A and B are shown apart, each in its own frame.
Chain A
C-alpha cells in the first residue's frame, strides 16, 4: 500500500478506535481511514509499505528505513505525527495482537500517536525503534538487544537506554548492551535483563550515567565498557 498521513480528523478517529478496542477487542479496525481522503492525505513522494512477516522491531525498522531512504523528498519524518499514526493503523494487528484471554491492550497513547513534547516519543511502537535503527544505521545489528522484541513490545532494555540521549547515541555503549543482553541463539533477550534484576537494564543505565562523568564513551570500545561493569553483570558477560 502507498504510505499516506492521517490528518487531524483521521488521528481523532484512530484515537477513538484505540479507546474502543481497549474495551471491546472485536471493535473493527478502521482500515478505511488509510485511503479515505477525508481522514488521510497523500505524501509528496510515493512510498510503498508492506505487510510482511516482520518478526521484531529490527525487521520492521529496517523495512521502514529502506523505504524512507529511497524517498529523499520526505522531511522531518521523526516529527510527523500523521505519518506515524497512519503506519500504526496500517500495522495495527501486529502492534496490538489479541491476547490469550481474548482482549487487546493498546496501552498508553504515546505508543500509537507520536508525542514530541518529551522524550516519550521513543515509546511510539514504530517511530521509536526506527529512530534507534536510523541512529545506528551504519551497523544496525549492534542495536539488536534494543530491537529484537516483537513489534507489540518495548523491552525494559530498550526503554532504559532510549531514555538517555548520552547513551543511546554512542555506538560502543549500544554494542555493549547487545553483547550483554542479546542471545543470538534464541534471537531474543537473555533472561533477567529486566529493570529491577541485578545486572539488568536499569542498573546498566545507572552505572553508565556515573561512568559518563569520568569517561568519554566514544573513545572506548564495547569490550572496555563491559570491562568496567561490576560483578553483578558477570552472568551476562559469559
Chain B
C-alpha cells in the first residue's frame, strides 16, 4: 500500500518548474546544473539549500548555500552514478535556526530537462538502465519515484535492445500490463492529476491511449483487469506490435 506523507510542520512543496535541472556531458563525466527560483516561497534567508541526486541505492548530496545567498558548489560532477539514465533530483530547504534540521521545503522526483540530457536521449516514462541482472534479460525495478527498465548489460549491444522491434513487440505490452497492475492493484492508486508522481504519469498515459477511457471507479478486480487489458490492446495497436513482429517472424523456419 502507498505510504501517506502527513504534513504537520507546514513543509512547503517546491514546484518542479522552480527547480530547473540540466545535465551536461563532459570529459570527466556528467555535471549537473540547477536554476532555482525560490523567491516566491516564504523561506528564511538563512535556511540552507541542498540538492540530492539519486537512483535506486545510489545517492549524492550537494550543498547550495543559503536561501539569501545561493552558492553553487564548483564540483557538481555526478561521480556516484555509472550512467545518468533515470537519475532524479531532490531539493531540500532546511532550517538552520532552531529547530535546526527541520525540513522547510522540498521538491522531490525531479528529472533533468530532456533537451539537456546526453546526446539525443530523452527523459521517458520508462528510463532504461543497463545492469548485469543475469540470468534475466530484462527486469522492472520499482521504487518510490519511478519505474526503471533494467536490461542485462552483459548482452552484446545491450543498449540497443530496448529499441529493437522484436523486443518491443514481445516485451513492451507485458511491461505495460505489469506497471498498470502494480499501480492499480498492488498500490491501489488512482490519481491521474498529480503529474509529479510517476504513477499518475503512467495512468495519464494509459487513459490517453485511443479507446481506453478513464480509470474505472469500480475497484473490483474484474473491471480493473478489463481496463488494463484494454490499455495493453490499445498500446499494442498504436505501436503496431503484431504487424511489426509479423514482418520479422518467419514461422521459426
Contact = CB atoms under 8 A, between A and B. Distances in A.
A218 B51 CA distance: 12
B101 A224 contact: yes
Give the size category of B's interface with A.
Answer: 20 to 34
Interface stretch (B14-22, B56-64, B68-76, B114-122): B56-64
A174 to B, nearest CB: 13
Interface of A: 8, 76, 79-81, 116-119, 122, 165, 168-169, 209, 213-220, 224
B8 to A, nearest CB: 7
Contacts of B132: 79-81, 116
B6 interface: yes
Given A117-B141, A216-B103, 18 more contacts: A76-B82, A80-B132, A81-B134, A116-B131, A116-B133, A117-B136, A118-B139, A118-B141, A165-B56, A165-B59, A213-B11, A214-B102, A214-B103, A216-B50, A218-B61, A219-B48, A219-B94, A224-B101
Contact of A213 (B103, B134, B141, B150): B103
B63 to A, nearest CB: 10
Contact of A214 (B11, B57, B150): B11
B77 interface: no
A36 B156 CA distance: 26
Q: Which among B9, B57, B134 has the greatest number of chain A C-beta atoms within 10 A?
A: B57
Given A213-B7, A214-B9, A216-B92, A117 B131 contact: yes
**Can you list the 4 inter-chain pairs with the closest CB atoms, starting with the nearest?**
A219-B101, A216-B94, A117-B139, A117-B133
Contacts of A214: 8-9, 11, 102-103
Contact of B102 (A81, A118, A215): A215
Contacts of A215: 101-103
A213 B3 CA distance: 11
A119 B56 contact: yes
